[in-house]
Structure 1
Amino acid sequence: MFAVKVPKREAEKTRRKLIELGVLAKSYSVKREGEFILFPVTGPVEGFEIVEAEFEKTKRRPHSYREVVEVPEEVRPLLPSSFDIIGDVAIIELPEKLMPYGKAIGEAILKVHRHIKAVFAKGSKIEGEYRVRELIRLAGERRTETLHRENGIRLRLDVAKVYFSPRLATERMRIFEKTQPGEIVFDMFAGVGPYSILLAKKAKLVFACDINPWAVRYLEENRKLNKMPNVVPILGDVRKIAGRIEADRVIMNLPKFADRFLREAMLSVKDGGIVHYYGFGPEENLFFEHEAKINGIAKGLGFHVEFLDERKVRPYAPRQFNIAIDFRVLK
């Protein structure tokens, strides 16, 4: 086939030009001949030295585990199109009919995604005071601790002992962009610190509370790992801490039960301070019930609220969404 022959020093510039012209034969591998590079092309290209050469077909790596996994055809449509990646650990939700093929699915994920070292299936819903779930090992290393990177910070955690969702990375960055330098922040349900560590880059002080001792242990480690001495980890029930902190900004990332802690949030925020509230809502009525509860608690305390922003964060279940409401508290 036809090839463009150029000296090695001109290879990158030539490659970009051939792509721009739409003549680079991408299904074939580039070839090296001494001090020259040969690019496979679809036909003669004006302005370049053209030679004839034989090229090997490019070996395309599969993009999805579904391309390589071996399962019966009747269950193939049930294969999930996505899964969570936390550090080098993958967590996938499998329908019951796919569980007998869990090992094959896990090994396929490891084969396609080389940076993943362990694969687990969700064995239960998130439950209990610590918001954790049972995990079933499918393939890879026998460990659940990992180091996760997002938004320029590092977070060490054990996916079997603490709650963590990588799907909230964009939402965490949204709050970071709203945070002003020098603020005092109260992260009411901090976990291992994905909000706290990130916001500490701007905030003067971040009080980070969680009732799970494992979460606070990792929070302590992550504070040191990211060199954030202005994060103050607090182990305990947030109801015993509320009112003792006066924050400019309060984070309420506990969507299933956040409405039960609205009073504590409002008592912990300064006059004019902002609360970032998270909840779950049905598609046909995303915000109304949450707004009513927020207004009701504020009225009972003699406060007023000003709603600043409402948004869908992500789908949670069929016709259900994780939602965010930002509001200002006026005392």
Structure 2
Amino acid sequence: MGREQISYIKVKKKDGQNLIKFIRELNKSILNKRFKIILENNWIFFPLTSKTELINEIARYIKNKIDFDIILRDAVKNPNYKHKTLQDALENKIPEKFNYLIPKSYDIVGNIAIIDTNNSYSTSSITKKDLITLKKKIAISIIEVNKNINSVYEKRSEIKGHCRLRELTILHGEDNPETIHKE
């Protein structure tokens, strides 16, 4: 599997700090923090977000101030990047037409996350195979976003019995549904 190609703004090393200053002046967030800034010879490559209108606005603002090019190249992931939201973690991992299926909330009990997919996924626009893949990607992303989560389960039944338990199915992580929860 090849690396992901994204847009970069290429500036001379001496103009790197000026570019950052201009971006801050406009108060726009166009740098993609998921990827590393690349230094090659006398050039700095700043990774850009996919927001074309913002990129064009910055380009118009700096066109007479510094020399730059907007290019497409292989991206280098930033290993220190931490997603802030589940939607952010799933961006470009699932088709946009399925974004409405991303759960708005999920239960966290100790180091386990529990998602309820019964209501969210009642749609005929998705195949069973795609649904399984989607659930897996959501589960992986929940673990990425929450550093204390080791397992993601799916609710399979309502709470029942004297001990108020429910049936769960593992989606991703350790298959150990026991955890410590303090109130």
- Coarse TM-score class (shorter-chain normalised): 0.3 to 0.5
Which one has a larger percent strand, Structure 1 or Structure 2? Answer: 1
Query: TM-score normalized by structure 2?
Result: 0.46
Larger radius of gyration: 1
